[in-house]
Structure 1
């Protein structure tokens, strides 16, 4: 069965009847990298303008009546629309597609077909998979290397065909039609039944596909191959964008260029050279800063050791510093009869901590200090160190160290 969106990819809306509505669950990404499970309903209709995911193309978004459709999936001949509100079977509804998302997917998907066909015709590179990403798309080619010259040639021919306004048509053929053996395909889904849908770019490519596509290559506007990267199993990933994404990419790139021009005080052609010089300067400054921190650590330790009335506890917090800085101080002071408690980082946020001293004291104090600082750490041989997430609790941790050390000294 072909859905209405597959018969007319440019249709914005469609009147349909609700066939079924059953309770369902949907797991979504809430944007913070965590999954959230929604309770709702899977709705089937007599037909739909919302494309269910397939052929490497993500599903559509849109509305059924006033209810937003959060996911569309295909199961056999049916399209399931996930809603958070129920609909009564038999109700006539208006289905609307999110056209901006749909047309973007059409441009990227047709762009993939075009690039795939050209890579095959020019160099015999077969497409083994592809991914339509949120910002850019990737075609996996069955070759270990695609040279810069080859990528440029593929891009040039693709844009030439776009300018020639090559028509794109959809044809339906029977599974046993002899033509089926001649069209490009990576195989049919296990649950496929009935006729086969062919996307035909006149004189360029005929490919079996279930997705939505432009009606003319001119609707792609342009394609840009951004580059290549090493793929899996001796393959190459070709990265591209098409249509409106290319315009948005140019807008973002120009905004970045203007910002860099203002910051670097030079023209775009000097940006790389200027950044390279800055990076080298930063590395030199970091190296000098580390050297100074090490010298400072030794001075701090010697100052403490030379005090005639030095305490049994050495406590220090410094915003600038790292684990090496703290360990140098601990090594210079010695931990046979001194308990050392040090922290580095933002006083009100997170940082690093080190507790060192006699093992019997540190073994007891380490986990307790770690808990107060809401940290994670580990220790052995008289040292316990880790990350502190609540540096604001440092005062409480130091108080505990002083109390435990004082009690140990009295025993």
Structure 2
């Protein structure tokens, strides 16, 4: 029976003895053992598995498969005597804090606003719940966090109880049960009644605290990111280190970082604007130089080490300066060719024919309108040869 498992009998168990009843390899060749009884919690219900050791061998994974709990181990245990299991307590207690914190936070959203939790994920650094609501206000988040921490500070008892399906009606459950036999309830009296198979501390005070970090919209629901217990300090240490380094780099006190960043962004915007204006002037000068070399109404050039955006800008400037000009530009790199073709207002030829030719010879993609096309593909020929064929597609 489920309730006979050691992690349900005592969530605080750290060491235990048992016997190996099966040792085998999974489909990937990993060794696993099945024990007579175990304190290792298998992945389930949003809670990750325990880790630790069995007879000194590292336990890498614990999962329930076909009714048996498989402990994936680093090496073959090969034992017929009693084995000793050692639970990684810091991981177990962290999971107990996070999972119980989720119960409390979820119940707070239900109690205050009637928002139901659709799913829960206990990650390595953060936890999330998905609420069945399209929008959450800052005020609602603050209220739920405040109530959750009040429940934690009251240090209320957390009870676990095995009940039958006939006994369920005696309890005001937060959500419908997913099982109909061996039902386990986790109860915070007068606050939360929930069917759950996870491990939990004996009182809410051991969760220590809950901090909501952020939210994100997920179609018709909102995902809430949060941490509990020891993870709050981890987040505080990490963010304090980031803040301290930012303060050092900006040569600003921590309470002046916002102003320093705003000043930096303003300066950066001015520099980018000035740089673009300078770049535009240089491109216009370059376009005039290229126009001076125009042959048969066409400006042709192969570039190396430029950007496609620069080439696009050059083509547009060229045809804006000369209504009778056609700009055929190719960008050549080690394994790729890109092209741009543009025509002035007085040119009748469509640039789509140029694009068709270019695409066909470089196995490429591209398109555009009659007056401007672009594309790219494989370097099946040289840039000069591509340019030649593009020009011939106009004169034919």
| Fold shared, TM-score > 0.5 on shorter chain | yes
Equivalences for 1:204-243 in 2 at 5 Å? Answer: 204-233=191-220, 235-243=221-229
> Contact 2:107–2:174 at 8 Å: present in 1 too?
no
User: Which residue in 1 is equivalent to 2:252?
Assistant: 266
Q: Which residue of 2 is the match for residue 43 of structure 1?
A: 33
User: What is the match of residue 33 of structure 1?
Assistant: none
What's the CA shift for 1:398?
A: 12
Q: CA RMSD in A?
A: 3.9
Q: C-alpha displacement at 1:333, in angstroms? A: 6.0
> What is the aligned length?
371
TM-score of the two chains, using structure 1 as the length reference: 0.74
Deviation at 1:50, TM superposition (A): 1.6
Please point out which of 305, 308, 312 is paired with 1:323.
Answer: 308
Q: Paired residue for 2:71?
A: 81
Equivalent in 331, 334, 344 of residue 342 of structure 1: 331
The Cα offsets for residues 306-362 of structure 1, whole Å up to 9 and x where unpaired, read as 25999996333346xx4231123345668999864336xxx99x9995476966874
What is the 5 A alignment of 1:258-297?
258-297=244-283
Aligned pair partner of 1:134 in 110, 119, 124:
124
Write the distance in 2 (CA, Å) between the matches of 1:148 and 1:405: 58
Question: Normalising by structure 2, what TM-score?
Answer: 0.77
Contact persistence 2:134–2:219 (CA under 8 A): no
C-alpha distance in 2, partners of 1:59/1:244?
19
Aligned to 1:105: 95
Out of 251, 273, 298, the position equivalent to 2:284 is 298
Task: Work out the CA distance in 1 between the residues paired with 2:382 and 2:291.
Answer: 23
Pairs within 5 Å for 1:10-89: 10-25=12-27, 38-75=28-65, 77-83=67-73, 85-88=75-78
Q: How far off its partner does 1:213 sit?
A: 0.9
1:366 aligns with 2:362: yes
Indicate conservation of the 8 Å contact 1:174/1:196, yes or no: yes
Q: C-alpha distance in 1, partners of 2:377/2:50?
A: 44
State the secondary structure of the residue aligned to 2:166.
coil
Question: Residue 226 of structure 1: SS of its match in structure 2?
Answer: strand
Deviations 1:226-270 (CA, angstroms, capped at 9, x unpaired): 24444443x443332111110011111111211222223333333
Q: Which is further off, 245-254 or 149-158?
A: 149-158
CA positional deviation for 1:84: 5.3
Using a 3 Å threshold, how does the CA distance of structure 1 residues 309 and 229 change in structure 2: closer, same or farther?
closer
Aligned to 1:393: none
> Within 2, Cα distance between the matches of 1:284 and 1:301?
26
CA gap of 1:19–1:283, structure 2 versus 1, over 3 A, is same
Cα deviation code 1:167-187 (max 9, x no counterpart): 223222233325565333442
| Counterpart selection for 1:400 from 372, 382, 390 | 382
Residue in 2 that maps onto 1:394: none
